[in-house]
Amino acid sequence: MIAPGEASHNDVILATEHLSRVVGGVTLVNDVSVEIHTRELVAVVGPSGSGKSSFLRLLNRLDEPTSGTVTFEGLDYRLIPPRELRRKIGMVTQRAYLFPGSVADNISFGPRQRGEEMPPDEIDGLLVHVGLPGFSDRNVANLSGGEAQRVSLARALANSPTVLLLDEPTSALDQEAKIGIESLIEKIVQQSQLTCVLVTHDFEQASRVADRVMVFQAGRVLRVGSATEVLHA
């Protein structure tokens, strides 16, 4: 046994085995078996409708697998209470879906669900981290798309997750905001020792940031490997 503090880069933190989801006779995710290692950034690429989002929603159990298993930190995730699982496996989606109110209200949402009130300086620190210093009291109604996505990222980080799922976090943004969010994600993954699964339809983005790339097609994993191996195969 390795103590949690000594976790090496090669430890498997999240794994799926023969994971499938069928809805109304349609197979959205088809027999996916992958291992994701601690502090790795895995990109999931593939054409629109190939089941990338469906796969991601199985990883934090927003949807229920029809068959197969997901193992998180060595444990079948059905044994972990859903709220605890979702706190540890954070998620950021294409649209920010901020809750009405201030930026600070949004950042402190996760901890507040467990009865923890986030100190203001911690909120400010997180906002500096995502490049929005002094935004704490701003109303979310007045944010640009890029700013909203940064708040959404900070809101997920406020839960101190160990894994972060990102579902096309830059595809609703203009070029400039997209580059900003992309480098922010890279910085966060390095600094906070996060494991990250990034869904993107942008092969360039995948090869820029990912350690490994999974190619999805029709709900199946077509190829897995380093960006150069997979994208130029």
Partner 1 sequence: MLNMFFRGPLQLGIAQAAVTALAAMIVVLLARSRNIHLESDLALALLRGAVQIVAVGSILGILLRSPRWTGGLLLAAMILAAGTISRRRAKGLPAAFEISTYAIACGAGSVIAVMTLLGVIDTAITSLIPIGSMLIANAMNTNGLTLNRFRADVIAHTGEIETALALGAAPKQSVAPYSEASFEASLIPAIDSLRSLGIVWIPGVMAGMLLSGASPFYAAIYQFVVVAMIFTASGLTSLVSTLLIQTHAFTPAEQLVIRPGLAIQ
Ligand X SMILES: Nc1ncnc2c1ncn2[C@@H]1O[C@H](COP(=O)(O)OP(=O)(O)O)[C@@H](O)[C@H]1O
Q: Which residues of the shown chain bind partner 1 in the complex (CB under 8 A)? A: 60-64, 78, 82-84, 86-87, 90-91, 93, 95, 97, 99, 109-110, 113-114, 155-156, 159
Distance of alpha carbon 206 from alpha carbon 214, whole angstroms? 10
Site membership for ligand X, residue 200 (CB under 6 A): no
Could you tell me the CA-to-CA distances from 168 to 74, 136, 180, 197 in Å, in that order? Answer: 27, 25, 14, 10
Site string for Mg ion, 201-220 (x = CB under 5 A): --------------------
- DSSP readout, 128-153? HHTT-TT-TT-BGGG--HHHHHHHHH
Instruction: Closer to ligand X by CB, 52 or 155: give it.
Output: 52
Q: Are strands 67-72 and 12-23 parallel, antiparallel or unpaired?
A: antiparallel
Site string for Mg ion, 46-65 (x = CB under 5 A): -------x------------
Site string for ligand X, 9-28 (x = CB under 6 A): --------------xx-x-x
Nearest distance from residue 53's CB to ligand X, in Å?
3
Nearest distance from residue 223's CB to ligand X, in Å?
16
Instruction: Closer to partner 1 by CB, 39 or 155: give it.
Output: 155
The CA-CA-CA angle for residues 29, 36, 193, to 5°, reads: 130
Using CB distances below 5 to 8 A depending on partner kind, what does residue 62 bind out of partner 1, ligand X, Mg ion, none? Answer: partner 1
Could you tell me the CA-to-CA distances from 21 to 40, 87, 97, 141 in Å, in that order? Answer: 25, 23, 25, 36
Site string for ligand X, 49-68 (x = CB under 6 A): xxxxxx--------------
According to DSSP, residue 1 is labeled -
Using CB distances below 5 to 8 A depending on partner kind, what does residue 125 bind out of ligand X, Mg ion, partner 1, none? Answer: none
Q: How many residues bind ligand X (CB under 6 A)?
A: 12
Using CB distances below 5 to 8 A depending on partner kind, what does residue 20 bind out of Mg ion, partner 1, ligand X, none? Answer: none
Question: Who contacts 46 (Cβ-Cβ below 8 Å, separation ≥6)?
Answer: 52, 201, 215, 216, 217, 222
Site membership for ligand X, residue 218 (CB under 6 A): no
**Contact assessment for residue 161 and residue 87, using Cβ atoms and an 8 Å cutoff:** yes
Distance of alpha carbon 168 from alpha carbon 132, whole angstroms? 21
Distance of alpha carbon 53 from alpha carbon 120, whole angstroms? 34
Residue ranges that bind Mg ion, judged by CB under 5 A:
53
